[in-house]
Structure 1
Amino acid sequence: MGLRARARATFADTRPLQNPHFRRLWLANIVTVIGAQLTVVAVPAQIYAITRSSAMVGVAGLFALVPLVVGGLYGGALADHMDRRRLLVVTTTGIIAASALFCLQAVLDLRNVWLLLGILALQQAFFALNQPARAAILPRLIPPEQLPAGNALNMTVMQFGAIAGPLAGGALIPVLGYAALYAADTVLLLATLWAVVRLPAMPPTTVATGRVGLGHVLDGLRYLRLHTVLLMSFVVDLIAMVFGMPRALFPQVGHEVFGGPLEGGIAFALLMAAIPLGAALGGVFSGWVSRVRRQGLAVIVSVVVWGLGIGGAGLVFLAAGRVDGSVQLGQRGLEGTPALQVLLVLAVAALAVAGAADMASAAFRSTMLQEAAEDDVRGRLQGVFFVVVVGGPRIADVVHGGAGSALGPGVATAGGGLLVVVLVIVAALAVPAFVRYQVAR
């Protein structure tokens, strides 16, 4: 095997970047994802600073969940009914407008958590309408054999942004304030708008008649119900996210467990960046994903590793809570407690392992859906996929926020990771066809 072949087998497969439209979208994502993650960090940090409640941070998940579910399902139907390029232009413009509203409320220093949650709901509605079309265009841009590589490349750049955003955001909030982060997100989103405007027209493959309604959405759900393997790919991801995504607890963990400032700080930033860090590293070394044929089994293994990583992080939180426990909160910081520094590194490492496993799981599940679905229902199925992928963590925000307030963040995180492992194994045993699923190459 030559040097080039070995590199392709080890590192990310970059063949999809030869397509100019895919390349523009991918390059635009490099900057816009960083901006988006600045907002992802700023919103929970601002809510926690206003309310000092992890439960209230979890409530933000509810305000995002409803527009995500409704918008994702309806957006999928729209993506099968109208020109996907036009839909992307309109919804991207809406996302930019919502980011500008985030910035405005911060500049005015309104400190109104309900206004903040309302803007979040608006932003998530536009985001949900956008994403099914964005995913559904991929099979029109690159050939089927490049879909795993294309999905891995997209997820890798998203995760690199998710590293830089939390690290910069968590560190800069105490210095620059929330308004600066929201403003950066608004400006950086213009790159994505430029990329989608340059896309070719992508009208439906079949003639669309009438208005998009509930019937179109239900048609997609009926299609999914008849395909057990695709349905199970959603079930296992819901298990992984609902029980294993403790991000709503990170403001509390950073402040109370690792002694960081209330407004954010280094510990909070590292915790927020840890899962994306692992996912990004997994994406860099994702050359192997295109060679895996037993994708169902690969998903199950990946989700089990995810659960173990999250559970391990929870155990570290419990251990860190007992370090310097006699020192009053606010009088200890990372720079003065070497034991906490070590435990923080261990927590970040455990979360990074989980992130790498999640990247692999997402790449396989995306490819399974894009290859198995026909183009005239692909948008609707991508809408369901989006609802599961994004809605699951929002439900987790509520579940973990409440559990963290009642039981403590360590118990909530460790217990959630254990539940993921148990439930996904039960699901695999209940539907062996999913474990046996493989693709022909």
Structure 2
Amino acid sequence: METTRGTDDAREPLPDDTPADRATDPDAPPKTGWRRWVMDTRPLRHRPFRRLWTSTTVTAVGSQLTAVAVPKQIYDITGSSAWVGYASFAGLLPLVVFALWGGVVADRMDRRTLMLVTNVGIAVTSLLFWAQSFAGLDSVPLLIGLLAAQQGFFGMNSPARNASIARLVPADELPAAGALQSTVAQTGMIVGPLLAGALIPVLGLPILYLADAIALCVTLWAVWRLPAMPPLKDLKDLKDSGGGRSRAGWRDVVDGFRYITAHRVLLLSFLADIIAMVFGMPRALFPQLASHTYAPWGEGFALGLLFAAIPLGAVAGGLLSGTFSRARRHGLMVIVAVVAWGVAISGVGLSSSLWWAAVFLTVAGVADMVSMVFRGAILQSAATDDMRGRMQGVFTVVVAGGPRIADLLHGTAGSLLGPRTAVAAGGLLVAVAMLGLAVAVPDFRRYTA
């Protein structure tokens, strides 16, 4: 029987944590007035986390420059949206494979070292993107190969980066740390494409690639300044027995999935995201909605507003994270957030007005931020340190794969039922399925940090 409290049997003192950096001061007066509602910045008082967060802030925009530049360059070469889709799919496979394997590696070696190596790999691929664009090679296979390599390095990097957070902040600040990380990532998804759209006509694609590479240099500097984060369990084993570390292999990946199935709280956190994204992410229908349902407002304007509304809501939720980041019933918060996401998405399908659809999508973005924060906190607190890398690897796969499956599902349903019916039905299915899981597995709704 699983306990309803997360445990970490190998916590260590927070590194580089002077008294001035302590985020929890028992003698400090509680926040009052408007300050208790705005973004919870307690984790930034810890210098190591502040460095990690700073690197995320810089690369959030830079990575989006490349994310816009690659499909733009492929379309310019081929004149075909199909090739843009092929390139995106080609990047998914290495992301999935290396995220799973990278999670194992993150549990077997110093996570700081792994982040340094993989960030160097990402930076090199960005420089190669710049070189091929500057040289005017116009080779689609080369672009797809570089994209696959970059996604592989990202897949290796992401589990180590996310699994490190629990070593840099106290357990009660994990939701706040997740909100800070997610807010800058969502902000980058808004600012980056807008900046790319403004810079491409003026400076051209090579500058976008080069700007991303320069931003990654800042990331390397910030990661270099982090403390060493070797695997705690392996260090204990070495001290007790004098043996060496085991090599990372695919059997460890399987062990990670077994660990998930043996811990229902972890399993439900993944299922909650799969339910929300697969059944309730309607982005594949945005072009059709913009072209037909909301055509009077202008197709281009409607499409941009639909795509921007969810990240805008997520950023708003992050800026107001003080309203929820101190909640301790993490499982219940995930349930409420996913149900709210489903209801809001249904509202989009029922809306004949573009503005009401944008409002519902913004509400959905707020709910998604809350869900993301507490699902991340559950993964950090309910898993032991020697499994966190693998949990984050699976998390990366779920986050990357769920929306792509949703594109296929919603695209098919939209063709058969019409876009508004497909969106409304998908949102309703999310709410019903999540409530059903909450009733079926009471351990999840009772889970307390």
- TM-score calculated relative to the size of structure 2: 0.80
**For residue 365 of structure 1, what is the aligned residue in structure 2?**
375
Does structure 1 residue 188 correspond to structure 2 residue 224?
no
- Judged with a 3 Å threshold, the aligned counterparts in structure 2 of structure 1 residues 416 and 373 are, in CA distance, closer, same or farther, namely same
Structure-to-structure mapping, 1:249-288, within 5 angstroms: 249-250=285-286, 267-288=302-323
Deviation at 1:304, TM superposition (A): 1.8
**For residue 180 of structure 2, what is the aligned residue in structure 1?**
153
For residues 87 and 405 of structure 1, what CA distance do their matches in structure 2 show?
45
**For residue 169 of structure 2, what is the aligned residue in structure 1?**
142
Percent identity of equivalent pairs: 55
Does structure 1 residue 296 correspond to structure 2 residue 331?
yes
Q: Give the alignment partner of residue 356 of structure 1, picking from 350, 353, 366.
A: 366
Tell me, yes or no, if the aligned pair for 1:67 and 1:128 is still in contact at 8 Å.
Answer: yes
Partner AA of 1:349 in structure 2: V
**For residue 169 of structure 1, what is the aligned residue in structure 2?**
196
Tell me, yes or no, if the aligned pair for 1:17 and 1:23 is still in contact at 8 Å.
Answer: yes
Number of equivalenced pairs = 411
For residues 198 and 349 of structure 2, what CA distance do their matches in structure 1 show?
23
For residues 170 and 390 of structure 1, what CA distance do their matches in structure 2 show?
24
Partner AA of 1:435 in structure 2: R
Deviation at 1:430, TM superposition (A): 3.0
Tell me, yes or no, if the aligned pair for 2:349 and 2:420 is still in contact at 8 Å.
Answer: yes
Tell me, yes or no, if the aligned pair for 2:172 and 2:326 is still in contact at 8 Å.
Answer: no
- Secondary structure of the residue that 2:122 maps to in structure 1? helix
- Judged with a 3 Å threshold, the aligned counterparts in structure 2 of structure 1 residues 228 and 400 are, in CA distance, closer, same or farther, namely same
Deviation at 1:187, TM superposition (A): 2.3
Tell me, yes or no, if the aligned pair for 1:167 and 1:270 is still in contact at 8 Å.
Answer: no
For residues 197 and 293 of structure 2, what CA distance do their matches in structure 1 show?
16
Comparing 78-87 and 143-152, the one that deviates more: 143-152
For residues 179 and 405 of structure 1, what CA distance do their matches in structure 2 show?
38
For residues 251 and 434 of structure 2, what CA distance do their matches in structure 1 show?
32
Q: Over the residues paired in the alignment, what is the CA RMSD in angstroms?
A: 3.3
For residues 202 and 414 of structure 2, what CA distance do their matches in structure 1 show?
28
* 5+ long unaligned stretches in structure 2: 1-27, 235-243
* 5+ long unaligned stretches in structure 1: 320-342
- Secondary structure of the residue that 1:39 maps to in structure 2? helix
For residues 441 and 270 of structure 2, what CA distance do their matches in structure 1 show?
13
Q: Give the alignment partner of residue 91 of structure 1, picking from 94, 118, 124.
A: 118
Partner AA of 1:222 in structure 2: R
For residues 405 and 114 of structure 1, what CA distance do their matches in structure 2 show?
32
Deviation at 1:367, TM superposition (A): 0.9
Does structure 1 residue 243 correspond to structure 2 residue 279?
yes
Structure-to-structure mapping, 1:29-428, within 5 angstroms: 29-44=56-71, 50=78, 53=81, 59-107=86-134, 115-170=142-197, 172-173=199-200, 177-207=204-234, 209-250=245-286, 267-316=302-351, 319=352, 343-400=353-410, 410=420, 412-428=422-438
For residues 203 and 417 of structure 1, what CA distance do their matches in structure 2 show?
43
Tell me, yes or no, if the aligned pair for 1:56 and 1:401 is still in contact at 8 Å.
Answer: no
- Secondary structure of the residue that 1:4 maps to in structure 2? coil
- TM-score calculated relative to the size of structure 1: 0.82
For residues 406 and 68 of structure 2, what CA distance do their matches in structure 1 show?
16
For residues 137 and 294 of structure 2, what CA distance do their matches in structure 1 show?
29
For residues 47 and 230 of structure 2, what CA distance do their matches in structure 1 show?
19
- Judged with a 3 Å threshold, the aligned counterparts in structure 2 of structure 1 residues 381 and 236 are, in CA distance, closer, same or farther, namely same
For residues 320 and 127 of structure 2, what CA distance do their matches in structure 1 show?
36
Q: After superposition, what is the alpha-carbon deviation per residue over 1:120-162, rounded to whole angstroms, capped at 9, x for unaligned? A: 3222211110011111111211111111111111111212222
- Secondary structure of the residue that 1:212 maps to in structure 2? coil
Deviation at 1:252, TM superposition (A): 6.4
- Judged with a 3 Å threshold, the aligned counterparts in structure 2 of structure 1 residues 93 and 231 are, in CA distance, closer, same or farther, namely same
